[in-house]
A and B are shown apart, each in its own frame.
Chain A
């Protein structure tokens, strides 16, 4: 679950990580009031889940209440990453002396928790990595305890003089006091990440401001979906725009679903087989309308729900069902198909491939209803592709 900046800030504050003063605003009037309250120069920022806000014109400066209202009006009219901007964060403008990048994340390659630090903050870490690979430091953390101070400082590359970047010429100096401040923030990020089950907690930039203070000017947090059941307090932070309405409907029914642009609706058991089925549809010359994994359970209701999602999706011209029975019993799926046909106007051709646990029984059930099922996956896919590609098998 991805959090927006204003939501991420709430968690940062809870963990004592300094952020600039700010107000949330949903209208130009509210933005104007926020500027009046904060005083002086403010930054008005679009609250969206996608990156690239600045480039899209979603981050602007304002100096007066009128200014703030005008800027807010323009940002609220924007669409960024396919979503209309609906919320703004108005923050007091902060003058950075230096911008860093700091994140704590669960790293799948090392199978551990690590911190990533760069003294090239402010740009995306991918850009920094491409332009200055030596300036990005990956620091492994103890998964149970978080960063060890000495190891962390060494990992940052802070040498005796506080220089960062392997002491390369022109790498700039890092005051030992600043380095220690960054370590302390990393320790707080680790606590946040481990206690709230995050897969990523990222500060970019983490700014050094006049007077030597460190402030997180922007933040991105991704909460691990598997951890969410343990944190009911985080559930209200879910942003509906993270998923399509059909994806939410599917999730509520216990199905795993992703909508795509093609015209063959897919219903499969298992994630890997679902992906492979989509790939084969493409291989044989058509395009899948979706990814849909009905999971391992033997519940005819799930099949009915899956049908209702697929038949409700615009552009679906045929449906392919591919079941390799293991835990999933083919006869349960067959019963679900029969039930769905009696409840829903399906209206498009269905091609079925069933094999594995109780497949003979399933084929009997389907045969009685006049439905034929394939054994061979390739045959089934060629058949369904022929339906959408003008009937030529």
Chain B
């Protein structure tokens, strides 16, 4: 079992003829994901390897039966791409693009929600259910199927942690990078809820970082009674205040968004917070 995606998920790639879009379309296909086509306005009728290219999302969905989309278009086109997908029958939208303006994201969040769709990202690595489906840019080979659910605001740090899990013999049900921006579609709490109900997930790893209050909200949610073991790691303990640490959302503003607040919130909720990524496997087993 897994959340959000499984072996039957059919995916289209928005921006499939671009440099990143074509590279990752092929890589997802090679992993075994059912990549059924892609969209680039003006390139309809062409193809990328075996994957047909369409001019519009709606057309692509009608022709292929896709239910998920992954977006690789440049930042200035990302909002239109998200809304086009939300207006189509697509159920799950994954936006990899970094640099989407914040006001546009506040609007898109509402737009997607009003249409009952699910958005992952932007500025995220995507998600993977090992052995079944990869809708993202992560290196597939470090993952292995199993019972640990992983939720993260980061990309490569997630790879580091997944690598440690796999090395320790702990496979993953689904790993999802929710994105490093201040506003993202799915948040920690929604994903925790899904993992809580998923029979294939035995425990959950939360990879948080400084900035915002998403970790505190997640801790509150767990504190109200969560059926599975949760372990957390918080990045940015040495980050100075008022500086964006790479991710647009990773910033300590005044007294808010500090690592201490997040570590304390998780501690109060009974979540084990580890100091080092390589301590996560033992914490999950302990």
Give the interface segment out of A176-184, A226-234, A366-374: A226-234
B281 to chain A, nearest CB (A): 13
Give chain B interface residues in 142-191, CB to chain A under 8 Å: 142, 152-160, 163, 180, 182-183, 187
Give chain B interface residues in 254-277, CB to chain A under 8 Å: 254-255, 275-277
Asked whether B210 is an interface residue with its Cβ less than 8 Å from the other chain, the reply is yes
In the complex with contacts A108-B182, A229-B76, A278-B239, A143-B107 CB distance below 8 A: yes
Contact of A111 among B104, B183, B247 (CB under 8 A): B183
Contact residues in A for B107 (Cβ distance below 8 Å):
143-144
Kindly state the separation between the CA atoms of A283 and B234 in the bound complex, as whole angstroms: 13
Asked whether A103 is an interface residue with its Cβ less than 8 Å from the other chain, the reply is no
| A residues in contact (CB < 8 Å) with B | 106-109, 111-113, 126, 143-144, 193-194, 197-199, 224-227, 229-230, 256, 258, 260, 268-276, 278-283, 287-288, 291, 293, 296, 324-328, 355-357, 377-378
Contact of A226 among B102, B187, B214 (CB under 8 A): B102
Contact residues in B for A325 (Cβ distance below 8 Å):
139
In the complex with contacts A108-B182, A283-B276, A276-B239 CB distance below 8 A: no
In the complex with contacts A143-B110, A226-B102, A377-B278, A106-B159 CB distance below 8 A: no
Contact between B109 and A112 (Cβ–Cβ < 8 Å)? yes
Asked whether B213 is an interface residue with its Cβ less than 8 Å from the other chain, the reply is yes
List the A residue with the shortest CB-CB distance to B100: A226
In the complex with contacts A111-B109, A143-B107, A272-B153, A227-B158 CB distance below 8 A: no
Asked whether B282 is an interface residue with its Cβ less than 8 Å from the other chain, the reply is no
In the complex with contacts A271-B180, A283-B276, A112-B156 CB distance below 8 A: no
Contact between A272 and B158 (Cβ–Cβ < 8 Å)? yes
Contact between A272 and B139 (Cβ–Cβ < 8 Å)? no
Contact between A106 and B213 (Cβ–Cβ < 8 Å)? no
Contact between A278 and B212 (Cβ–Cβ < 8 Å)? no
Contact between A271 and B250 (Cβ–Cβ < 8 Å)? yes
A242 to chain B, nearest CB (A): 10
Contact between B238 and A271 (Cβ–Cβ < 8 Å)? no
Kindly state the separation between the CA atoms of A271 and B138 in the bound complex, as whole angstroms: 15
Contact between B106 and A113 (Cβ–Cβ < 8 Å)? yes
Known A108-B249, A271-B246, A275-B246; further 13 A-B contacts with Cβ < 8 A: A108-B182, A143-B106, A197-B101, A226-B75, A226-B248, A258-B240, A260-B238, A268-B156, A270-B154, A273-B160, A281-B238, A287-B238, A327-B137
Contact between A279 and B255 (Cβ–Cβ < 8 Å)? no
Asked whether B236 is an interface residue with its Cβ less than 8 Å from the other chain, the reply is yes
Q: Taking each of A112, A230, A270, A281, which has the highest tally of chain B beta carbons within 10 Å of its own beta carbon? A: A270
Contact between B125 and A224 (Cβ–Cβ < 8 Å)? no
Q: Taking each of A108, A113, A281, A287, which has the highest tally of chain B beta carbons within 10 Å of its own beta carbon? A: A108
List the A residue with the shortest CB-CB distance to B154: A272
Contact between B102 and A279 (Cβ–Cβ < 8 Å)? no
Contact between B278 and A378 (Cβ–Cβ < 8 Å)? yes
A332 to chain B, nearest CB (A): 14
Contact between A275 and B156 (Cβ–Cβ < 8 Å)? no
Contact between B275 and A357 (Cβ–Cβ < 8 Å)? no
Contact between B139 and A356 (Cβ–Cβ < 8 Å)? yes
Contact between A326 and B248 (Cβ–Cβ < 8 Å)? no
In the complex with contacts A226-B248, A258-B240, A326-B138, A272-B235 CB distance below 8 A: yes
Contact residues in A for B247 (Cβ distance below 8 Å):
271-272
The main secondary structure of chain B at its interface with chain A is: loop
In the complex with contacts A274-B246, A275-B250, A279-B235, A326-B155 CB distance below 8 A: yes
Contact of A229 among B20, B75, B154, B254 (CB under 8 A): B75
Asked whether B18 is an interface residue with its Cβ less than 8 Å from the other chain, the reply is no
0 or 1 for each of B221-254: is its CB under 8 Å from A? (1 = yes): 0000000000001011111100111111110001
Kindly state the separation between the CA atoms of A393 and B100 in the bound complex, as whole angstroms: 44
Contact between A293 and B246 (Cβ–Cβ < 8 Å)? yes
Kindly state the separation between the CA atoms of A327 and B182 in the bound complex, as whole angstroms: 23
Contact residues in B for A278 (Cβ distance below 8 Å):
238-239
A225 to chain B, nearest CB (A): 7
Kindly state the separation between the CA atoms of A287 and B152 in the bound complex, as whole angstroms: 25
Smallest CB-CB A-B distances: 10 pairs: A272-B154, A271-B246, A270-B156, A272-B157, A227-B101, A275-B235, A273-B156, A108-B182, A275-B236, A293-B246
Contact residues in A for B233 (Cβ distance below 8 Å):
276
Contact of B240 among A111, A197, A260, A276 (CB under 8 A): A260
Contact residues in B for A327 (Cβ distance below 8 Å):
20, 137
Contact residues in B for A271 (Cβ distance below 8 Å):
154-155, 180, 209, 245-247, 250
Contact residues in A for B100 (Cβ distance below 8 Å):
226
Q: Taking each of B100, B138, B156, B182, which has the highest tally of chain A beta carbons within 10 Å of its own beta carbon? A: B156
Kindly state the separation between the CA atoms of A106 and B182 in the bound complex, as whole angstroms: 9
Asked whether B95 is an interface residue with its Cβ less than 8 Å from the other chain, the reply is no
Q: 23 A-B contacts, Cβ less than 8 Å apart?
A: A106-B182, A107-B106, A111-B106, A111-B109, A112-B109, A143-B103, A144-B107, A198-B103, A226-B99, A258-B243, A270-B155, A271-B154, A272-B156, A272-B207, A273-B156, A275-B245, A288-B238, A326-B125, A326-B138, A326-B155, A356-B142, A377-B278, A378-B278
Contact between B238 and A272 (Cβ–Cβ < 8 Å)? no
Kindly state the separation between the CA atoms of A271 and B209 in the bound complex, as whole angstroms: 10
Contact residues in B for A287 (Cβ distance below 8 Å):
238
List the B residue with the shortest CB-CB distance to A325: B139
Contact between A227 and B245 (Cβ–Cβ < 8 Å)? no
Contact between B163 and A106 (Cβ–Cβ < 8 Å)? no
Contact between A126 and B254 (Cβ–Cβ < 8 Å)? yes
B232 to chain A, nearest CB (A): 13
Kindly state the separation between the CA atoms of A220 and B237 in the bound complex, as whole angstroms: 28
List the A residue with the shortest CB-CB distance to B136: A326
Contact between A324 and B101 (Cβ–Cβ < 8 Å)? no
In the complex with contacts A226-B100, A260-B238, A271-B245, A280-B276 CB distance below 8 A: yes
B117 to chain A, nearest CB (A): 15
B141 to chain A, nearest CB (A): 9
0 or 1 for each of B89-114: is its CB under 8 Å from A? (1 = yes): 00000000001111111110110000
Contact between A282 and B249 (Cβ–Cβ < 8 Å)? no
List the A residue with the shortest CB-CB distance to B275: A283
